[in-house]
Each structure stands twice: as C-alpha cells, then as structure tokens.
C-alpha cells in the first residue's frame, strides 16, 4: 500500500490520504469493501486458497475453475485452486494471488475517484 501511495504521488502530484485496513464484522468474512469517506465505492469476494487467471483473450486454462470477473477492470477470469499455480504457469498463464487482486482493485478505485480524495489544500498546491 505504501508503494502504491508513492506511485500515485509521483504520477499525480499529490499524496493519497492514508489507507486504513480494518476488520468489519458486518460484512462477510470472504469479502472486502473499499470505502471513501465512509461510503462503499467497490466490493468483491475473496476466494481464499484460489488464484485468479484473467481470460480476456478468450483462452482458458485446461485446469477447471469457476468463471468470474476480475474486480478492477471487469475482465473475464477464472478462479482456480492455488495448488495449481505451477501448472498454470507451465500452460503460459499468469496466476494472480489475492493480495495482488485487492491492491489492483484498490489502485483503480483510487484512480477513478481522485476528485473525492483531493483536499482544498492539495488543490491550492497544484
């Protein structure tokens, strides 16, 4: 998360406000919500023990899995048990772990909601 904030600072010229990760018992233990100023902007289900394979080019792995959508860009994907990670790589796929899925989703939510994150002070500096 720290690297992502630094990247946004260098790309857009302002520091994204602190990002807090917290546990919320009111939502499913397999899901996450991304909130800005207390409002849920995006959410998704984490498939623990599985990796994501984006299949946007139409090519699918031979290993069975569940057809889903990748949360950051809405691309077609397959969720496959992480025990098949090496097999997927041998087939030429790039399996994505849950942490990377969440960070990519968070990054896109931030990019798409930059105006809500800019403070008056940030705008004056720009």
Name the one residue in this structure whose structure tokens are 């990748």: 70
| pLDDT surpasses 80 at 12 | no
Q: Which two tokens stand for residue 31?
A: 């899901």
Mind listing the domains of the chain with CATH numbers?
Answer: 2-125 (3.40.30.60)
What is the spatial distance between Cα 80 and Cα 89, in angstroms, rounded to a whole number?
12
What is the spatial distance between Cα 35 and Cα 45, in angstroms, rounded to a whole number?
15
What digits encode the pLDDT tens for the residues 67-87?
Answer: 999 999 999 999 999 999 999
For the residues 21-27, what does the mean pLDDT come to?
A: 73
| pLDDT surpasses 70 at 116 | yes
Q: How far is CA 48 from the centre of its chain?
A: 14
Q: Taken in order 106, 4, 108, 122, is the CA torsion positive or negative?
A: positive
Whole-prediction pTM: 0.83
């Amino acid at each position: 998360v720290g690297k992502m904030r630094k990247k946004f600072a260098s790309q857009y010229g302002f520091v994204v406000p602190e990002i807090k990760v917290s546990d919320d018992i009111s939502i499913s233990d397999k899901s996450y919500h991304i909130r800005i100023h207390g409002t849920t902007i995006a959410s998704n289900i984490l498939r623990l023990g599985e990796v994501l394979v984006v299949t946007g080019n139409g090519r699918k792995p031979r290993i069975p899995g569940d057809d889903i959508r990748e949360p950051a860009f809405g691309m077609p994907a397959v969720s496959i048990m992480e025990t098949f990670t090496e097999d997927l790589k041998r087939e030429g796929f790039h399996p994505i772990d849950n942490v990377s899925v969440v960070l990519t989703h968070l990054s896109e939510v931030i990019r798409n909601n930059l105006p809500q994150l800019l403070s008056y002070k940030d705008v004056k500096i720009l």
